A and B are shown apart, each in its own frame.
Chain A
Amino acid sequence: MRMFSTTAFILCVCLAMPGLAGGNLSIRLAEATPEEKGVPPSFSDVAAALRQVGFADCRLVASVAVFLPAKNWTATLGEFSVKCSGPQNNLEVSVRQGGRELLNTTINLQTGKPFVLGSLSGRKSKMAMVFLVR
């Protein structure tokens, strides 16, 4: 009985861990560049997604990371500020630029599946934000 209880407990906790554990969200700001530099190594994990939206040549402007769930977490990425709140599967994101609110969105982020938000208008060129949970 004791052996069974211990085994069942460990098994259940192991099964529950992936669902209970929060992920580490990284947000990277990419800027499309006219120079044919390709996708930098810092975007190697989402290079295909960036090429898909015309960011075949780009550079990393800024990156931040937050552990989810977030509680009104705010960060500045270049000329944008991002506010995140909530768990990974119901993350509320607010993007501002120069004090002006651009958009609010609620996203369901899957671990290892990038979410690209564009096209944001930078001072010089188009920009995109890449959200990825690890």
Chain B
Amino acid sequence: MNKLSMTEIEHGLRNQSVASTVSGDDEFWSDFRARARLRNQEQPARVSMIPRGWAIAAVCAAMLIAGIGILSYGRGGGLQELSSVRALDVKVDHGAVLMMTDEAHQSTILWIVDMQPDSDKGGNA
């Protein structure tokens, strides 16, 4: 293993040093401006964890679910709608059928008058 003297090391390093390429003011400032321009480059685009196609599909699916939900909620009745009777079939004799809605108390009443549970004859109302 060769041992270099301090003088040889200094000499060797001096020879390896890069000579300055900037020779004048114009070159210095042109180099400075070029470097300054490099500082404000656009940020690289962010890499999303979710592929764009999947994100759009998820939003569409959510909107579809929301639509179905809102529609079924609407069919089920809005906030102002009362409970109601869609169909009625009274199987025993009865006098009359009264259907009442009490707006004040938000209730619906289906009243079957004189229902005869022991009768054999059915009837439709």
Contact = CB atoms under 8 A, between A and B. Distances in A.
Interface in B69-125: 69-77, 81-92, 100, 102, 104-113, 115-118
Contacts of A62: none
Interface size class of B (residues with CB under 8 A): 35 or more
A48 B109 CA distance: 12
Contacts of A20: 65, 68-69, 72
A49 B109 contact: yes
User: Chain A: interface residue count, which band?
Assistant: 35 or more
A131 B55 CA distance: 43
A119 B86 contact: no
A108 B106 contact: no
A115 interface: yes
Interface of A: 1-2, 5, 8-9, 11-13, 15-20, 46, 48-49, 52-53, 87-90, 97-98, 100-110, 112-121, 131
A107 B84 CA distance: 6
Given A1-B48, A2-B50, A5-B58, A113 B73 contact: no
Interface of B: 48-50, 52, 55-56, 58-59, 62-63, 65-77, 81-92, 100, 102, 104-113, 115-118
B107 A46 contact: yes
B88 A105 contact: yes
A2 B109 contact: no
Nearest to B102: A52
B117 A121 contact: yes
A106 B117 contact: no
Nearest to A108: B84
Nearest to A20: B69
A61 B49 CA distance: 60
